Copies of this chain bind each other. A is one copy, B any other.
Amino acid sequence: MSTRRVIYMDHSATTPVDPRVVEAMLPYFTERYGNPSSVYRLGAEARAAIEAARQTIAELIGARPKEILFTSCGTESDNLALRGVAWASRHKGRHIITTPIEHHAVTHTCEQLEREFGFRITYVPVDRDGLVDPEDVARAITDETILISVMYANNEVGTIEPIAEIGQIARERGIPFHTDAVQAGGQLPIDVDALHVDLLSLSGHKFYAPKGVGALYVREGTPLLPTQTGGGQEFHRRAGTENVPYIVGMAKALELAYASLDEEAPRLQRLRDRLIEGVLERIPGARLTGHRTQRLPGHASFVFGGVDGEAILMYLDRANVAASTGSACASSESGPSPVLEAMGITGRQALGSLRLSLGRENTEEDVEYVLRVLPPIIEKLREFSPICPDAALR
């Protein structure tokens, strides 16, 4: 790789692990390596580390330790929430309400439940800004509804959903409510009671912990059939020898994230706003996707007429800027983004999307650098393009 520092603006895809988190994890590889299920001291030590991590995370999101399950990623958390509740409640009903802008971990799981197991899924619409109307959720509820799942903040366009209002409606109707808070974790305050959620997914690698660890909050009394069975770990709800280092690391990372939130969120927001302004100003036909203000503090996303998103990324990469188009996890699927389509941005227009998601290491200079290199890239790509930018914009 080039020796020039990469300007990493893809924190919604993943984050570097914080060195303090690495530090916290290291002893658990070679010294405190006991199996938490073992009765001797090496085991008890590992068990204690896990329970301390559970306590930390519970406190940070206003939950009780028994309500926190550790998983192997955000995808598993989403899968366990959906499949776990669906299976536990399938004799009560087979109707699930969600939105068309969820992460694939939710939508593809819903699709499997529909195709293979006879569930019926209602996708409530979103508006141009990607916002769900709680009233639409209320109207979609039937006697068969056993679960509502609406994400806290969207990964592609950054929009923050009215979770508390939707949660209130779910609560009144007695329907379990899941929110995918993978993008919100460490970036937005989370209080499971204030949000009225019954299940909430987190993923460590979005807040400077490693890839491969997640958590699922499950409110006491929520029906859930385990989807990974075996040993009695995680209160018999998620079998498998615990990933002690990562669990310790995730708690440490979430603690650090929330400890600095009061300074970091406004800082990112300033950078983000500068980035949004600059892009809209300097690039003709650029359009912001997602809500202008009700969005993740470090998240800026756009569509540009006449150019393809991946082509932009490759040019940015050559300029040492790491960014993304739509969801990184979706990059193995081609075609326009279903999230943008749901917001009314269709066809070729939706193919020209760019997401710049800021994080801890990013500075004002980084933003200015991107604002310098991006406009000529778009211009050059438009020269290659048979699509008149103006036409593409309408």
Residues of A within 8 A of B (CB): 1, 6, 8, 10, 13-17, 19, 21-22, 26, 29-31, 33-35, 37-43, 45, 71-76, 78-79, 87, 103-106, 108-109, 111-112, 116, 203, 205, 210-213, 225-233, 236, 239-246, 310, 313-314, 316-317, 322-324, 327-333
Q: Which of chain B's residues have a CB closer than 8 A to the CB of A330?
A: 37, 231-232
Task: Say yes or no: B331 contacts A246, CB within 8 Å.
Answer: no
Determine which of B19, B38, B211, B333 lies in contact with A322 in the assembled complex, contact meaning CB atoms within 8 Å.
Answer: B38
Task: Say yes or no: A104 contacts B241, CB within 8 Å.
Answer: no
Task: Say yes or no: A30 contacts B22, CB within 8 Å.
Answer: yes
Task: Say yes or no: A17 contacts B39, CB within 8 Å.
Answer: no
A313 — nearest CB in chain B belongs to which residue?
B39
Task: Say yes or no: B329 contacts A211, CB within 8 Å.
Answer: no
Q: Which of chain B's residues have a CB closer than 8 A to the CB of A14?
A: 33-35, 38, 241
In the complex the two chains form, what is the Cα distance from A69 to B383 in whole Å? 42
Task: Say yes or no: A332 contacts B17, CB within 8 Å.
Answer: no
Q: Which 3 A-B pairs have the closest CB atoms?
A: A212-B243, A72-B72, A232-B332
Closest CB in chain B relative to A235 CB, distance in Å:
9
Among A19, A105, A240, A241, the one with the most B-chain Cβ atoms within 10 Å of its Cβ is: A241
Task: Say yes or no: B38 contacts A331, CB within 8 Å.
Answer: yes
Q: Which of chain B's residues have a CB closer than 8 A to the CB of A239?
A: 75, 79, 104-105, 108, 329
Task: Say yes or no: B243 contacts A72, CB within 8 Å.
Answer: yes
In the complex the two chains form, what is the Cα distance from A327 to B241 in whole Å? 12
In the complex the two chains form, what is the Cα distance from A35 to B14 in whole Å? 6
Task: Say yes or no: A329 contacts B37, CB within 8 Å.
Answer: yes
Task: Say yes or no: A40 contacts B72, CB within 8 Å.
Answer: no
Task: Say yes or no: B246 contacts A212, CB within 8 Å.
Answer: yes
Determine which of B15, B109, B241 lies in contact with A329 in the assembled complex, contact meaning CB atoms within 8 Å.
Answer: B241
Task: Say yes or no: B35 contacts A328, CB within 8 Å.
Answer: yes
